[in-house]
Structure 1
Amino acid sequence: MPTPDTLRLRSVSKVYGSAARSVTALNQITTEFRAGSFTAVMGPSGSGKSTLLHCAAGLDRPTSGEVLLGDTDLGELDETRLTELRRERIGFVFQSYNLVSALTAAQNVALPLRLAGRRPQPGAVDGALAEVGLAARGAHRPSELSGGEQQRVALARALVTRPAAVFADEPTGALDSKTSRDVLTLLRAVVDRHRQTVVMVTHDPVAAAYADRVLVMVDGRITQELTAPLTAESVALASRGGLSC
């Protein structure tokens, strides 16, 4: 039985355009992301992996099918309620960090709460920064931080509301290998320590191997599913279509 934080997709399709010019980005996707799990989504460019993430996170609406967070059908929510749900129960981490340059790290972390009209609880922002190893950098603006530090601020911002699910779109794509490992270790800790759900889109088999499960997509469909134990080699082979699961 699904928990209140289980995210389910039922026969989800997403079609852009119409008639002869239509493009099917997702084709009848049915899957679920259980609470406290870490799923990586892989596939070639144009396979639909980012569209899957956007529909699952409520950033985009599917053409057909259902997206449910617990018993809540995201398709039945108007834009105001959907925005509220994203602020309260969903966190986002993007490749480009998406920090506000005029704000300090601490102010960026507090931003989701401020936008929701909530005052941060005492210690919440400092605690989120400490969790990602930036306790001493809260007063610094993004231009004063390295790329890895900016991504960790973005992760702290995603975690400060203690969301049910964190969606990460190529979170290590702009980082070097060591900094990537640091960010991936933090995402793994989100799952292991707080039992939150992480869904990550990536091209990198090494990054995908941090997950509990890997979904491989081709032409808008999930063609393979791998489960732990995972290695970068097994993920790379599957993503090239060399493994049947």
Structure 2
Amino acid sequence: MGRVGTDSPDVVRLWSVKKTYRTAAHEVIALDGVTTGFPAGTFTAVMGPSGSGKSTLLQCAAGLDRPDGGKIVIDGTDLATLKETALTVLRRERVGFVFQAFNLVSALTAEQNVSLPLRLAGRAVASAEVRAALARVGMAERAGHRPSRLSGGEQQRVAIARALITRPAVVFADEPTGALDIKASREVLRLLRGMVDDQGQTVVMVTHDPVAAAYADRVLFLADGRLVEELNGKLDAESVAARMTGLERSAC
């Protein structure tokens, strides 16, 4: 299935990835030769001014959108070698997604929402496995509740359990705290951090919030579709915010 030989420790690797959106009036270069990797068991935040290409980077890296050039490998598989059906299977089995809007099915209970990826894949659903996934995110007691009876933070925790149920190689989170209040945001961020520290999960998160980014192991900064800076090590919201302010001033 397009597997490539590599000694790279990266679960996801991008080489010279380019993406351009064209309209009748003009074209926008969303990604301009991006090369980077996301090592196993790490938490990476992706930041940048509006229009910098961070959402496009996530969509291409996750196989949701195909780049115009370059190469993307997920868990040893070159995405360019996959036809659409095989790409859908790879996303379903090897990639987890957490979105700002939760994307839970309103007619299903928390337990049914978490088991949905397994059902779609035609895999047997063990109730104990689903309950264990909910327990890991602190939602075991709410398994029988539909989304309308859950708070925003609780819905996002169910969404995280759903993302983890297939034991993905990588979890991509797109502004996962954007619709939450401060308390719920911190709970979700601590949960994502714990997935990395305790379970060795690889997490890539797009965010505009320096406080959220400070939970990561490193922060990648984009501007005009290019990677322009990287912060590593012990991060704090103040240093992340200072870098973002510098990029936003440069973009003006």
TM-score by length of 2: 0.93
Pairwise CA RMSD: 1.3
5+ unaligned residues in a row in structure 1: which ranges?
none
How far is the alpha carbon of 1:230 from its aligned partner? 0.3
Matches of 2:67 and 2:206, distance apart in 1: 18
- Residue 113 in structure 1 maps to residue 118 in structure 2: yes
Partner of 1:191: 196
Matches of 2:124 and 2:75, distance apart in 1: 27
Contact 1:91 1:159 in 2 (8 A): yes
1:11-30 paired onto structure 2 within 5 Å: 11-17=16-22, 21-30=26-35
* Cα distance change on mapping 1:145 and 1:174 into 2, 3 Å: same
- Size of the aligned set, in residue pairs, is 241
Partner of 2:140: 135
Matches of 1:70 and 1:174, distance apart in 2: 30
- SS where residue 59 of structure 1 aligns? coil
Q: Which runs of 4+ in 1 moved over 6 A?
A: none
TM-score by length of 1: 0.96
- SS where residue 185 of structure 2 aligns? helix
- Residue 70 in structure 1 maps to residue 67 in structure 2: no
Contact 2:11 2:39 in 1 (8 A): yes
- Residue 150 in structure 1 maps to residue 155 in structure 2: yes
Matches of 2:24 and 2:8, distance apart in 1: 37
Matches of 2:240 and 2:192, distance apart in 1: 18
Partner of 1:51: 56
Matches of 1:9 and 1:241, distance apart in 2: 26
Equivalent position amino acid for 1:214 in 2: V
How far is the alpha carbon of 1:71 from its aligned partner? 2.7
How far is the alpha carbon of 1:121 from its aligned partner? 3.1
- SS where residue 25 of structure 1 aligns? strand
5+ unaligned residues in a row in structure 2: which ranges?
1-6, 248-252
How far is the alpha carbon of 1:70 from its aligned partner? 3.5
Equivalent position amino acid for 1:212 in 2: D
The correspondence for 1:124, drawn from 129, 143, 154, is 129
Matches of 1:177 and 1:78, distance apart in 2: 42
147-156 or 116-125: bigger deviation: 116-125
**% same residue:** 67
96-105 or 61-70: bigger deviation: 61-70
Contact 1:2 1:70 in 2 (8 A): no
Equivalent position amino acid for 1:96 in 2: A
Partner of 2:235: 230
- SS where residue 63 of structure 2 aligns? coil
